[in-house]
Structure 1
């Protein structure tokens, strides 16, 4: 018998394979799973150099895949002022942090921050340029909201960016003004692209990405779909791969057109002939990413009916006539499409665009996607199934910002948000995600929300859309792998699959659902190599082994 590298015994193995869901032992050789079954048979593979891992009753399962995050952006946020509600629960706390940062750097140097969320701060309002001016009048300051669809800038940043009361709103964006017509400092959607904050360099990006990878490993995540890949991002991932410092599989979706401050690369991608699937097991191109609407938090997601107590229905970036021809060019060139659509009005444009393309160019085999896809109607679900479209479901939103959604949309509409049971009944594959750094990237929070339909404040909405723990786990493993045509090798434990594995503190199928939030990763393996161990990681120390 061939020699083996690792043998896991004495635990519960959740394979995520519906045909053989559980086992007692797993054998890994040359980065792949070669045997799944019983302990005695597994130990027959043992050779002198084999490491036998006694799980001591713990649970082994495939490591997580994240279908929609922004890895390099998340890495850079780890270098910025932390304005998340856990760190800055009030505007006063934000300004205190900005004041401290301003005292540490020369006047005129930009201060960048990330993560404020008015819905979770005691003030229940957005920070303004005047708030920031009080503590940093001589430093340009830009703080992005957690949703990434809005940013607040102080007067110095607005001045250096050439933004004044006379600056017109860009198409698809809004420069907020108060009742007197004065700039508040808030820039929404495409208006953020007017800011002239300095770009990060390659060294900054590499530093941030290394920090991000450590957190991915601690969460048990070994594959991530980068949903806003630009030139610098792709260069970063390739550079880390060349240096043998890429410790997470990356699946890039190239940002298609200039939007929201991001530079589109569709023309260049088409010119060089890049196709979906190009790359290797660590770095593999997925396709093109488009964007149709904004966010619920900023009331810019596009709905048919207005937000509560308003006449606002959100911002629709493009019509079918505008976006469908662009999508079609990508599809005809062999590139899959992922298109951001949160509200039903945006989802309509996405589906109608796909339908129009399918009239002349078959798309059903491609596993094209609608990102977030939070509020599809019953009709839209049928249309998605008809064209074999996938829903990149941001189920993590329900836990993290579901309370804000309820306040802006109401209970009736929220009953049908993140409809995972309806996805299942309609036959629509819906891999889950957090949209990190928009929200915390811990997959267990999304799994918990899918199973309980509870928000962070304990509100329950749309109980009929609950799914089982098993199905929720599949949303972050096998369904995710299906999304990239890798269901035979990722997100599953069976012979021939990559040995991307994690050891859990408990069996998620055997605990009270409330305990899902407390699940911890004991160890994470990428291709059979241990990249995280809870027992050997010191606070403040490196996670990657």
Structure 2
């Protein structure tokens, strides 16, 4: 079966400038791209007139949290513009479809205390005013921290005597009673495990339901950066979801701490041999620090209140994780937002030989604060690094960044232009739903922020680090495919998968202010139309 798509504005994705007017797909692959299609028309089964529409390779979100997204889609958005105070949050939670359904969790996501009228995080007292009979769980905007009501704490077995987990903190009132606020990932996991252990079947349903969300955004492949072994295996969740209709391709990165007890089982832990399978186990994820908006990213210079954040791993612990990735031929994805955290990564790894040939051996996730010296070290290191970063944070969290960072630090955030000039492989991604925006994984908001450097409130941050639209699209297609192990995606060239999107507007020509409003008209995966407006 051959299909010709003609009269289009097709961005091939090979470089910044290469476009064509037509392409032919055969079964699940690109057969041909070019301009002179008329000589090939005799062998065509179907012809589609694009009517000058812009076509991009299928978009790839190489750092996201699909399980969290699936939860969020049926949960309550505790973000602006609808939720701007704890009182409004309480009202919104009472509108959740689960409200009043005994035994079901009420879930929310996206609050940022700097954006709330009370200028504080909600606590167990606030959430108990919504319900004391149903457990309530709400992610903070960074998805590192969270808050639960008394029922959630009870189900998780958290009380005044529960010790803080390594790398996390159970916040407490002066009396010693937990406030419900769980700071950082390891503390948040105490609530997540209680929630997930009771709802695997619902988790599968939610994941299947999220498929259309990705396709609507033109996302054909995703990097799952929080793979788990407990209370169930993340790969099993995806396999069961695929059987029931989940469409995007998935690269799974297991959180290292989750597999410590399974090293014997993982003796042959590596990227799956089946190159074209929908799921690949690509790597492991580790955390060096926290987040800027949570004031826990590890920085060289202190925040404006004198804090410097948290460093989770010393040199010996980092080496152990690097050795594990190298031994099992896995990519290592390192969460490092602050410049001090990035410095620690480079000190331990820059002189090592890369162990992967098809993609960078080490991905630095976020790399929010980058000095000129750090960029130079990334460029000249023996190790081959990639940077996966999120301009949506700049767009949605400018209030937090301005509150915590000084002027000099603000000039060092999301240095996209400098990274591209240094020829450091770069991908843009969402880290969704880990930001206080109602569309946290819209590629078009990210592209808008990467190009304009403007926040949602109109603030311009380090304009010199803006990049071109073409570069931003490459960072969501070709460059993302290289980094994330999606070797059959990222370009519309003969032999590649026929995964592409058709847009409502010409993203390369519209005024910048309209980029964030672009819609996906159609999404195609494996040569089949899987979404249309």
Hey, what does 1:542 align to over in structure 2?
Answer: none
Q: Is the 8 A contact 1:302 1:343 kept in 2?
A: yes
Q: Is the 8 A contact 2:29 2:527 kept in 1?
A: yes
User: C-alpha offsets along residues 199-253 of structure 1, whole Å, 9 cap, x if unaligned?
Assistant: 2533212211122110110111101111111243200222334x27231111111
Q: Is the 8 A contact 1:114 1:145 kept in 2?
A: yes
Say whether residues 1:376 and 2:370 are aligned partners.
Answer: yes
Aligned partners of 1:42 and 1:380: how far apart in 2?
52
Aligned partners of 2:226 and 2:369: how far apart in 1?
22
- Equivalent runs, 1:258-269 vs 2, <5 Å: 258=258, 267=263
Deviation at 1:384, TM superposition (A): 2.2
Say whether residues 1:151 and 2:150 are aligned partners.
Answer: no
Aligned partners of 1:526 and 1:122: how far apart in 2?
44
Say whether residues 1:413 and 2:414 are aligned partners.
Answer: no
Deviation at 1:277, TM superposition (A): 4.8
Deviation at 1:533, TM superposition (A): 0.6
SS in 2 for 1:250: strand
Alpha carbons of structure 1 residues 265 and 77: separation in structure 2 relative to 1, 3 Å: farther
Aligned partners of 2:419 and 2:524: how far apart in 1?
31
SS in 2 for 1:494: coil
Deviation at 1:305, TM superposition (A): 1.7
Aligned partners of 2:20 and 2:236: how far apart in 1?
41
Aligned partners of 1:198 and 1:481: how far apart in 2?
33
Deviation at 1:54, TM superposition (A): 0.9
Hey, what does 2:27 align to over in structure 1?
Answer: 30
Hey, what does 1:6 align to over in structure 2?
Answer: 3
SS in 1 for 2:129: helix
Q: Is the 8 A contact 1:411 1:461 kept in 2?
A: no
Aligned partners of 1:325 and 1:203: how far apart in 2?
36
Hey, what does 1:251 align to over in structure 2?
Answer: 251
In structure 2, runs of 5+ residues without a counterpart are none
Aligned partners of 1:266 and 1:483: how far apart in 2?
26
Deviation at 1:364, TM superposition (A): 7.5
Aligned pair partner of 1:187 in 157, 182, 189: 182
Say whether residues 1:224 and 2:247 are aligned partners.
Answer: no
Deviation at 1:381, TM superposition (A): 1.9
Aligned partners of 1:203 and 1:187: how far apart in 2?
26
SS in 2 for 1:431: strand
Q: Is the 8 A contact 2:205 2:241 kept in 1?
A: no
Q: How many residue pairs align between the two structures? A: 518
Q: Is the 8 A contact 2:3 2:46 kept in 1?
A: yes
Aligned partners of 1:248 and 1:416: how far apart in 2?
34
Alpha carbons of structure 1 residues 264 and 77: separation in structure 2 relative to 1, 3 Å: farther
Say whether residues 1:304 and 2:300 are aligned partners.
Answer: yes
Hey, what does 1:70 align to over in structure 2?
Answer: 65
Say whether residues 1:201 and 2:199 are aligned partners.
Answer: yes
SS in 1 for 2:425: coil
Q: Is the 8 A contact 1:276 1:336 kept in 2?
A: no
Alpha carbons of structure 1 residues 364 and 344: separation in structure 2 relative to 1, 3 Å: farther
Hey, what does 1:400 align to over in structure 2?
Answer: 396
SS in 2 for 1:113: strand
SS in 2 for 1:104: coil
In structure 1, runs of 5+ residues without a counterpart are 535-545
Deviation at 1:91, TM superposition (A): 1.0
Say whether residues 1:427 and 2:423 are aligned partners.
Answer: yes
Q: For the aligned residues, what is the CA RMSD?
A: 2.4
Q: Is the 8 A contact 1:343 1:374 kept in 2?
A: yes
Aligned partners of 1:366 and 1:59: how far apart in 2?
29
Say whether residues 1:234 and 2:232 are aligned partners.
Answer: no
Deviation at 1:257, TM superposition (A): 0.9
User: C-alpha offsets along residues 128-167 of structure 1, whole Å, 9 cap, x if unaligned?
Assistant: 1111122323433322212111111223433444434454
Hey, what does 2:280 align to over in structure 1?
Answer: 284
- Equivalent runs, 1:106-145 vs 2, <5 Å: 106=102, 110-145=105-140
Aligned partners of 2:433 and 2:529: how far apart in 1?
25
User: C-alpha offsets along residues 4-47 of structure 1, whole Å, 9 cap, x if unaligned?
Assistant: 52111112111122286111111111211111111543652543
